Amino acid sequence: MSSIEQATDGLLARRAADGDGVAFGVLVRRHAPFWRAFATRLLRSAGDAEDCVQESLITAWEQLPKLQEPDKVRAWVTTIVSRKATDRIRSRRFTDPIDDLEVPAKGLDPERAAVQRSQLDALGAVLAALPEEQRTIWLLREVAGESYDDIAAHLGVPVDTVRGRLARARRTVIDRMKDWR
Amino acid sequence: MARFAALSQQLVDRDVTEQTPTPGWLDGLLDTVAQEVRAGRDLPYAEGLVVTEGAVRTLVREAGDGVPGALVGRTRIRDLDGAPRIEIELSVLGDRPLVAVADRVREVVAAALRRHTPSPRPPST
């Protein structure tokens, strides 16, 4: 029996497109922690993030047969996650309070890498404080590595708007992080 | 600016290692997906009977994966003058001889299809 766990993302995505739930399961186990963490940074709520990823994966399963580049399945699902997260942010505006602003972290670390750690904490706080539109674009660009065109297309805004928001986010990040140079 | 991109990626990577998903979340997620079976179109099977593409693909994958070193990728089912033809994308793991593994996969898949397809014209692979 060959181990499907060793298969590449591309092969798993092609099999999943054919209806292989086992292959899809391997993909999900491999990448769900990343999608969850990414969605948590977008939504600032772990519970919302988990619901969002679940919803995204059902969409991904349905749309897999249409995926043009199976090798990029992780990035493709990340895009779906960000789109669903954006929908959630829009629908909860003025309604639900955010349940857990602080991203929970398991214990670790006394002194080791304390500096690096606080630098990441500082950046996390800066990103959390950005306006949602800017934070979403920042995460899509800097973490997911999406192009301006892709971000514009999937958020349904002009490319210039994407550039503008990213530029504002950058100014804020540089300003607030200047002590960390 | 590249520094902040790298830091942002490290931030999410750290979240991945340090955050614990709600217990049962991942399994629940996989259960949800498992319920969405993709049956595909019907293929003629025997007089008055059909078999779904999904069932044929599952059969092909299970037979092919059973060959040591072989991993079936995408499968395509085409209609060739009334008889289905099955094309299999194959990955061969490690340094196993490609042609020998492919031949073996062709054999076991054909055998599996013959076993489960009592038509006078078994699908060609």
Chain-wide mean pLDDT for chain B?
84
A97-128 residue pLDDT tens: 555 544 444 444 556 567 778 889 999 999 99
In a domain, B88, yes or no: yes
Long-range contacts of the stretch A123-127 (C-beta < 8 A, 24+): A123/A173, A123/A177, A123/B4, A123/B7, A123/B8, A123/B11, A124/A41, A124/B11, A126/A172, A126/A173, A126/A176, A126/A177, A127/A41, A127/A173, A127/B8, A127/B11
- Asked if A82 reaches chain B (Cβ–Cβ under 8 Å), the answer is no
In this prediction, residue A101 carries a pLDDT of 47
Residue B8: the pLDDT is 94
Tens of pLDDT, residues B11-63: 999 999 998 888 899 888 888 877 766 666 777 666 777 778 888 888 999 99
State chain A's mean pLDDT as an integer: 86
- Give mean pLDDT, residues A59-74: 92
Q: Report the CATH number at residue B77.
A: 3.30.70.1350
Gap between the Cα atoms of A79 and B71, Å rounded:
28
Q: State which fold the A1-95 domain adopts.
A: Rna Polymerase Sigma Factor; Chain: A (1.10.1740)
Contact (Cβ atoms closer than 8 angstroms) between residue A13 and residue B14: no
pLDDT per residue over B69-95, tens digit each? 999 999 988 877 777 788 999 999 888
Residues of A within 8 A of B24 (CB-CB) are none
Q: Where are the domains of chain A?
A: 1-95, 111-181
Mutate which: B10, B14, B52, B105, vs A, most A CBs within 10 A: B14
B49-52 and B70-80: which strand pairing?
unpaired
Residues A2 and B101 sit within 8 Å (Cβ to Cβ): no
Sequence-separated (6 or more) residues with CB below 8 Å from residue A160: none
pLDDT band at B103 (very low <50, low <70, confident <90, very high): very high
For chain A, percent of residues with pLDDT exceeding 90? 62
Contact (CB<8Å) B15/A40:
yes
